[in-house]
Amino acid sequence: MPALMLVLPACSDSSGPVEITEVRELSGPDQEIKVVDSPAERYRMPSQMASGGDTFGKAEGAENLPFTWTTPESWKQDPGAPMRDLSFTFGENGEGECYLSRLPGVGGGLVANVNRWRGQMGQEPLSDAEVAALPKQALFGLEGTFLDVTGEFSGMGAAEAKKDYRLLGVILTSPAGAVFVKMTGPADLVAANEENFHQFCASLQPRQ
């Protein structure tokens, strides 16, 4: 039977520290030591989504993702995109892009992510109240925040800003984790694919 050792400091008149050691036997449920929560408990994910709890931020095969989706007809999937669960390109030269990524926890927070995306478009940050007033769009049956920004786009590692670009995005932050869907591209191309973006978001469902 497992034993639990308690090491407690004790007061003493001696010059050195004194330790009192107590050993007692554990029985019943006390023997069941919970080392780590399950992915569902850690990320508070719905059971269908929790199966992917250990794959946050990792590119993987579509068959292993804990959700399903419908790819718009004109979009091409990039199966090897790092730090993204799904990544697509569209347009004659693939200049349009849409991706989905997940992070455990709140992923930095809603306001910070909204303003990070706005900053990439050369736009000023919004206040907490302005972010709260943004339109909503559903993802996986939960309420996400919808963002539509036009400006000069400077993505990660970009040498120079791309003029007349548009960003459409949905950010979902909850105790289950954070989900980001983001589309960028030339403004006219994004406008032509706006309905595809909304249909893609609506098609996302936990895998049964």
**pLDDT tens digit sequence for 10-45:** 444 444 544 444 444 544 444 333 323 333 333 334
Flag whether 18 is in a domain: no
Token readout for 198 is 């909304």
pLDDT average, residue stretch 76-96 = 92
Q: What is the pLDDT of residues 103-135, one digit of tens each?
A: 887 678 999 999 999 999 999 999 999 999 999
* Range of the structural domain that residue 53 is part of: 39-206
Count of residues for the chain? 208
> In the chain, count of helices (H) and strands (E)?
6, 11
Token readout for 5 is 């050792």
Q: In which band, very low, low, confident or very high, does the pLDDT at 158 lie, cut at 50, 70 and 90?
A: low
Tell me how far apart the alpha carbons of residues 1 and 25 are, in angstroms, rounded to a whole number.
7
Tell me how far apart the alpha carbons of residues 152 and 160 are, in angstroms, rounded to a whole number.
9
Coil vs helix vs strand at 21: strand
Flag whether 195 is in a domain: yes
Q: Whole-prediction pTM value?
A: 0.72
Residue 52 · residue 65 · CB < 8 Å: yes
What is the CATH number for 53? Answer: 3.40.1000.10
Determine what percent of the chain is predicted with pLDDT higher than 90.
Answer: 53
Coil vs helix vs strand at 25: strand
Flag whether 1 is in a domain: no
Flag whether 16 is in a domain: no
Quick one: residue 91, left, alpha or beta (phi over 0 = left, psi -120 to 50 = alpha)?
left
Flag whether 142 is in a domain: yes
Look at the chain and report how many structural domains it folds into: 1
